[in-house]
Amino acid sequence: MKNFIILVLFVFSYLFVYQVIAQDETNKRKSNFNLADGVAIEGYDPVAYFDGKPLEGKKNLQYSYQGITYRFANQTNMDKFKANPAKYEPAYGGWCAYAMGAKGEKVEINPETYKITNGRLFLFYNAFFNNTLKDWNKDEKGLMKKADDNWKKVY
């Protein structure tokens, strides 16, 4: 009986610690992702980028993945995302890829300024006559390497 009680206490302790760790990871993601009103990509559909045209998602079609809420233009796109979220999530938490590569900074984006390279979605700042996608294209390989390294430090 004593061993059973110890086992039960061990299991409950493990489950409690696991829940705390999982909650910490979710909070870490939320605090590092570019969210507007709690929604990623300013409400744009992450799957639509891969179909060649950014589309705004609908409020009634949203799905949360590891604490990050995404909206979708249609049910088909939401189903695709659910099947493979990592494929469609934007690089660097949805922050400007150029800024992450050039300075390791989290900078807002224009959700209609994007590029897909090697199956990854990159978003860029584009306002006030400053389209950072153009700068990214000048040294994409080098900036991507730096951005990947910087994201590991920031995240």
List pLDDT tens digits, range 108-152: 999 999 999 999 999 999 998 899 999 999 999 999 999 999 999
For the record, the structure tokens of 55 come out as: 């589309």
Query: 84 pLDDT exceeds 70?
Result: yes
Quote the pTM value: 0.83
Q: Which residue has the higher pLDDT, 123 or 18?
A: 123
Query: 40 pLDDT exceeds 60?
Result: yes
User: For 41-70, what is each residue's pLDDT tens digit?
Assistant: 999 999 999 999 999 999 999 999 999 999
In this prediction, residues 81-91 reach a mean pLDDT of 97
Q: Tell me the residue type at 12.
A: F
C-alpha–C-alpha distance, residues 61 and 71, integer Å: 6
Which residue from 95, 36, 45 is spatially nearest to 70, judged by alpha carbons?
45
Phi and psi, residue 102, nearest 5°: -75, -40
Label residue 31 by pLDDT band (50, 70, 90). confident
CA within 13 Å, CB half, 41:
31
The pLDDT > 90 percentage for the chain reads 76
Rounded to the nearest 5 degrees, what angle is found at the Cα of 135, between the Cα atoms of 132 and 139? 135
Domain boundaries of the chain, sorted by first residue = 1-32, 34-88, 90-155
